[in-house]
Structure 1
Amino acid sequence: MESERDQYSTGSNKRDVQHKGTGKLAIHNTVFRRWLSLLALKTTARFYISMGSCFPITRNKIVKTGPYVHLTEGATIEFIAQNTSIPMPRVHCSFVHKNRAYIVMRRIRGNDLPTAWQKLSEQSRQKVFDQLRSMIQEMRSLKPPPGTGVESCVGGSLRDSRIPRSNPRFGPFKTIQEFHLWLREGLQPSRIEGRESDSDWQDVRDMVAAQDKSWPPPVFTHADLNPFNILISGDRVVGPIDWELSGWYPNYWEYTSAWLGSATRIEWRNTIDKFLEPFPNELKMDATRQKWWGEF
């Protein structure tokens, strides 16, 4: 039987089997809840404005579904809710129907950061950063189970739409070095020899050396801390949202993902250091990786 590691570590397109073997991740998966959720998507959802892959079905409930939505996200929301004080929505149920995942959860009410930003005083902005820093530090302090590599909270595959080889998911990887090797499509140092005068290859050589070093254990990472994924009410953070990319990653991944994923958000880049621990050397390393193997 093909394991999830076999399915995704090569980055091949496996959309048709991405939900294979994920039944154990379903939450409160009863016939009645499935029927009621699917019915609501065809009826009451018409009275609300959808937001990407999120469809309100009542004033206080939304259904997240789409071609790349995975039951892992619902499991992640519960994992963070049970192990931290970070505000998270309650997951009412999650299930797969006709090769499509559905996550029914409580609707978080708040404005995304860009919408609210101009109305915030400097004092209120600092309060927001302080709360974000505390939340991220709490999440990063979670202890990975022994033997954890780069993987989801349930030890399975991950998704990152910014990685071209994520089709639609990748991993898990036993080690951070194995993850790095996959990111650079198996490039080994021996293939860089003899190019000392080529500045681009020197950058790649430095990247490979940094990637292949010894790394501390992975830390739990949201992996998509862009300003639209942070909701606030007044100057209170009501929650980071969109946990679909989250999992156990190298310690720098939160910072480099937030920074490199915000190429068009210069003001946001200038604020990231106010709530995330900076990793300048790893940022240079990952910038080289994204230049040659990423979409940016």
Structure 2
Amino acid sequence: MQKSDNFRPPSPVWTLETIKHRIQAGIHLRTPRDRAMIVDIGNHILVKYGSDITPHEGMVTQYVAAQATGIPIPKIYAIVYDEVSRWTYIVQEKLPGVRLITLLPTLDANTRSILATELNVMLRKLSVFNDLGPMGLYGKQGQYHGTCIGRFLELRPDARITTLRDFVDWCPNLVRTYYPGMNTPSTDAFDFSRPPFFCHGDLVPENILVLNGHISGIIDWASAGWYPYFWNDWIGRWRNKVPQFQDGRWARMVDIMTEPFPAEVEAFEEIFALADQYL
């Protein structure tokens, strides 16, 4: 029987056995020694798995896809947990494009401006999500495990961050716990009346895909959730400390992408540096 033009093969049933079989025949994009591995299993499908991959990443990706239009997000086909290894396997769409971190040195100012403007629109769409706030990762209200500040926050794993003041006081208070009498940075720069907002949490060039001069994908949503109002600006500028970003190309994109909060960024950088040194 001849297949019609609209024929599509049935979707596979993504059992753990099926996923592991497909991984064996796939192409590893990260070394098997990593705790977070990515395998291209063909047909524009990736599998992310390992001890550092959590169901949260797949669920938040699905959440964002359901809430926002105009943001290129990988489709999630399956989230499977292995009770034996305690690893999570996320089967997801492989979006087209090249990571911005690879392309950035070659892009002219006009192209960078176009990309930054597109990212600005996407960030604004994310910022209006408010149905699950107020603070914390998606699915973990009041907690930020797995983020760049997670190693500091996990020193008190049972506690919750419920306000902006909690967020900015967390590390200084811990430092004073271990080093009584230590002088810690001022928090006067922060507007404690401002509510948190939803964001990707780690929007840096490694997590942005580009195709033909436009944004083709935003990937790696593991850190997404509700953060302080200055977070996009801080996380973007924090990347400038890496030598390959010190030519200013990424910094100028951040100027367009996000609302600037120079006082808050400087103040939180002092807080982060203190924690990095002593905790």
If the TM-score is normalised by the length of the shorter chain, which range does it land in?
0.7 to 0.9
Contact 1:222–1:245 (8 Å) recurs in 2: yes
User: CA offsets, 1:211-259, max 9 Å, x none?
Assistant: 6x62322101212122121101011101221111111111111211221
Specify the SS of the correspondent of 1:262: helix
Q: Cα 1:70–1:184, aligned 2, differ >3 Å: closer, same or farther?
A: farther
Q: Which residue in the other structure is 1:222 paired with?
A: 200
Task: Please state how far the C-alpha of 1:187 moved relative to its aligned partner.
Answer: 5.9
Q: Which residue in the other structure is 2:273 paired with?
A: 291
Contact 1:150–1:174 (8 Å) recurs in 2: yes
Q: Which residue in the other structure is 2:135 paired with?
A: 150
Q: What is the distance in 2 between the residues matched to 1:222 and 1:246? A: 4
Specify the SS of the correspondent of 2:263: helix
Q: 2:66 aligns with which of 76, 79, 82?
A: 82
Q: TM-score, normalised by structure 1?
A: 0.74
Q: What root-mean-square deviation, in Å, do the aligned CA atoms of Structure 1 and Structure 2 show? A: 3.0
Structure 2 counterparts to residues 1-296 of structure 1, below 5 A: 32-41=14-23, 43-45=24-26, 48-51=27-30, 53-85=37-69, 86-97=71-82, 98-145=85-132, 148-156=133-141, 157-158=143-144, 159-165=146-152, 172-186=160-174, 201=183, 204-207=184-187, 209-210=188-189, 214-264=192-242, 265-266=245-246, 267=248, 268-294=250-276
Structure 1 runs of 4+ aligned residues shifted over 6 Å read none
Contact 1:149–1:176 (8 Å) recurs in 2: no
Q: What is the distance in 1 between the residues matched to 2:231 and 2:61? A: 19
Specify the SS of the correspondent of 1:55: strand
Q: Which residue in the other structure is 2:5 paired with?
A: none
Question: Partner amino acid for 1:257?
Answer: I
Gaps of 5+ in 2: 1-11, 31-35
User: CA offsets, 1:171-191, max 9 Å, x none?
Assistant: 652222223332334467xx9
Contact 1:173–1:179 (8 Å) recurs in 2: yes
Q: Which residue in the other structure is 1:18 paired with?
A: none
Specify the SS of the correspondent of 2:92: strand
Q: Cα 1:144–1:130, aligned 2, differ >3 Å: closer, same or farther?
A: same
Aligned residues: 251
User: Of Structure 1 and Structure 2, which has the larger fraction of its residues in strand?
Assistant: 2
